[in-house]
Structure 1
Amino acid sequence: MNIQTSASPAAAPFRGGYGDASDLVRGISPVLEVPFTDSGDVDFEGFGRVVDYVLGTGVTSVMFPGFASEFYKLTEEERRELTGILLRRTAPREDFAAIVAVQDHTTRMAVARAREVVAAGADLINLLAPHFLNPSRRAQVEHVSAVLEAVAPTPVVLQYAPAETGTSLDAATIADLVRTHPNLRLIKVESSPPGRLIGELAALDPPVTSLEGYAGVQLPDAWRRGAVGSQPGCSFTEIYVEIWRRLTSGDEAGGEDLHRRLLPYISYWMLDTELIIAAEKQISFRRGLIDSPYCRRPAHVLDAEELRRIEVFLREFADLLPDLSRRN
């Protein structure tokens, strides 16, 4: 991989005096999008603006690359350069953690990638279990265990996304992994609905800490059941931050109300992963964050009604979504 950054190896004590980088994965932890030019090339400068924008929203961690980043449409070299851009910006931040994802299906490749990004300065690893051709649960556990051992003591977030991957894990299996591997610190739960598994994990002895994913569709319920944060996309981070602020500051009704206003939009967009990627990119484009809403093909092409609803969305939440072009 050879990602070029100025970050220190994760084997050193975590910067800023935090006991563990996972302490910073709280509240909203956006998944970064990757802007492309109209011709389909990666806009590396634009990605830097995306990182800078997210760093300025008050969150304390981000994840890259995820489904929202179109990771499966990036070359290895593009992925390396983008990861380096992120880590060069987060390395000086004592109050911020960069979560770098490992989605390789082959255990050998996953271990190699995980070690490389940790050496480059990733504060945490986000690990997606193998899913191509439906591997057995035992094979998934062996894969996850190998990566956890390879990067210890670097903390790891295990991503559980059964709708996207078809994999199946339960609370007991996850609990066994946590007991065996202390650096497995968080579970990103993207089952539908996520609340039941989040609650089961929180009730274990010791409790297993969870994040909610899936665009925050079930965010209030996940929070009530013990989730410590949510990992949505990044094009309207401010809305998620405000929902979380209200929920955690004693204004549960206010958080529920704002989430209720958001829900018709995200529940429709999350009917298909490529749909929400296209919608979020269009929102970022309309806000002036990125120069093109292009998604690499194959992709969802927004129709006239979907584009109209995005305009309605931007008007409805204009008080929370400033024009970002003025910052660039």
Structure 2
Amino acid sequence: MTKYSGIWPVAPTPFHPDGTVDYEGMKRVIDCMVDQGNDGICILANYSEQFLISDEERRKLTEISLAHVAGRLPVIVTVSHFATQIAVERAQHAKDHGAAMVMMMAPYHGALMRGTAEQTFEQFARVGDVGLPIMVQDAPLSGVDLPVPLLLRMAREIEMVKLFKIECPQTAAKLRALVAEGGDAIEGPFDGEEAITLLADLEAGATGTMTSAMIPDQIKPVLQHFAAGDLTAATEAYARVLPAVNHENRQCGFRSAKAAMVEGGVIASDFCRHPIAPLHPQTKEALFRLIRPLDPVVLNWGK
């Protein structure tokens, strides 16, 4: 497997029931993710509820998380922002505190303010000047179209743009084109969306995946079997986890990992800040019904 490969889940951000950030709980989240056998960790991404966190909380979470990881795993810090200056400052802060790389979406704000292709290229180039590898997050949330020719130009002309997290519709088709046309410039083709399309994406050339922190230890064998050339075993491993992954992707979203971590004694609360509603009891019950038979690390870690 390549340098940029394997499973790099997104760390959830725990909150106390009063809505304040649980910084000690964040350390336990990190420890659990290390014990899950992950290849890396991503913090402050969409599944970390980055859009519900203040700038000061982001700064503290970055510093606390990187200090607590203490080199046990490489860490990706998400630095997306519409303002290029702020994205650069976030990237520099991450670098100063030991991040292995940063992840960014294209610049956007709301439904109507979206960076053009040239503005997007320029923002990534300026963040690249910080000197950390960049993962381009091609996510529908931004509403910004990132066609393959633009991604190829970024990979070829911006030295630090090395990884691509593709999670748009028909991910496999885009990954296949990106890998075929980009060659060695595409050092880390990844997928996301909780691995809901993982097997097809691996066949299209993905070397890694960025899931949630719910059951990455159970998803990782799919990548390992595929890398070993055993498509039958990879397919069986994928079929084993797919019902849980589907329920997470379609019913729970980022609330699932925190619910599982509460159930397993990793953190004390699965609180999400308003306007995010808590999981419906039936939805949560179905989640546990699907993940308990898998016996993931998260359900046993704190017990």
Question: When the two structures are superposed, what TM-score results if normalisation uses the length of structure 2?
Answer: 0.91
Kindly provide the amino acid, as one letter, of the partner of residue 48 in structure 2.
Answer: S
Q: Is the 8 A contact 1:194 1:212 kept in 2?
A: yes
Equivalent residue number for residue 72 of structure 1: 51
Matched position secondary structure for 2:181: coil
Equivalent residue number for residue 10 of structure 2: 31
Q: Partners of 2:108 and 2:250 in 1: how far apart?
A: 21
Report the more deviating stretch, 174-183 or 275-284: 275-284
Q: Is the 8 A contact 1:159 1:189 kept in 2?
A: yes
Report the more deviating stretch, 241-250 or 292-301: 241-250
Q: Partners of 2:98 and 2:189 in 1: how far apart?
A: 23
Q: 1:240 deviation in Å?
A: 1.5
Q: Is the 8 A contact 2:75 2:101 kept in 1?
A: yes
Kindly report the root-mean-square deviation, in angstroms, between the aligned alpha carbons of the 2 structures. Answer: 1.9
Report the more deviating stretch, 302-311 or 221-230: 302-311
Find out whether 1:185 has 2:165 as its counterpart. Answer: no
Equivalent residue number for residue 174 of structure 1: 151
Q: 1:75 deviation in Å?
A: 1.5
Matched position secondary structure for 1:158: strand
Equivalent residue number for residue 284 of structure 2: 307
Q: Partners of 2:144 and 2:174 in 1: how far apart?
A: 14
Find out whether 1:217 has 2:217 as its counterpart. Answer: no
Equivalent residue number for residue 95 of structure 2: 118
Find out whether 1:279 has 2:256 as its counterpart. Answer: yes
Matched position secondary structure for 2:17: coil
Equivalent residue number for residue 135 of structure 1: 115
Structure 1 counterpart of 2:178, from 165, 184, 201: 201
Q: Partners of 2:120 and 2:71 in 1: how far apart?
A: 35
Q: Partners of 2:237 and 2:183 in 1: how far apart?
A: 33
Q: Partners of 1:52 and 1:319 in 2: how far apart?
A: 15
Q: Is the 8 A contact 2:215 2:296 kept in 1?
A: no
Find out whether 1:146 has 2:123 as its counterpart. Answer: no
CA 205–81 in structure 1, closer or farther in 2 if over 3 Å, else same:
closer
Report the more deviating stretch, 134-143 or 194-203: 134-143
Q: Partners of 2:296 and 2:166 in 1: how far apart?
A: 30
Kindly provide the amino acid, as one letter, of the partner of residue 114 in structure 2.
Answer: N
Equivalent residue number for residue 160 of structure 1: 138
5 Å matches for 1:234-249? 234-249=213-228
Q: 1:261 deviation in Å?
A: 3.3
CA 279–321 in structure 1, closer or farther in 2 if over 3 Å, else same:
closer
Matched position secondary structure for 1:324: coil
Q: Give ranges in structure 2 of 5+ residues lacking alignment.
A: none
Find out whether 1:266 has 2:245 as its counterpart. Answer: yes
Q: Is the 8 A contact 2:167 2:191 kept in 1?
A: yes
Between the aligned residues of both structures, percent identity stands at 24
Q: 1:119 deviation in Å?
A: 1.9
Q: Partners of 2:41 and 2:244 in 1: how far apart?
A: 23
Q: 1:24 deviation in Å?
A: 4.2
Q: Is the 8 A contact 2:263 2:299 kept in 1?
A: no
CA deviation profile, 1:203-251 (whole Å, cap 9, x unmatched): 1243423111111001111111111100001122211122222322343
CA deviation profile, 1:253-309 (whole Å, cap 9, x unmatched): 23222322332333343237xx31122211121122211111111113322321220
Q: Is the 8 A contact 1:25 1:61 kept in 2?
A: no
Q: Partners of 2:56 and 2:24 in 1: how far apart?
A: 16
Q: Partners of 1:232 and 1:264 in 2: how far apart?
A: 15
Q: Partners of 2:138 and 2:240 in 1: how far apart?
A: 27
Equivalent residue number for residue 60 of structure 2: 81
Q: Give ranges in structure 1 of 5+ residues lacking alignment.
A: 1-22
Q: 1:172 deviation in Å?
A: 1.0
Report the more deviating stretch, 213-222 or 84-93: 84-93
Q: Partners of 1:40 and 1:319 in 2: how far apart?
A: 28
Equivalent residue number for residue 272 of structure 2: 295
Matched position secondary structure for 2:302: helix
Equivalent residue number for residue 227 of structure 1: 206
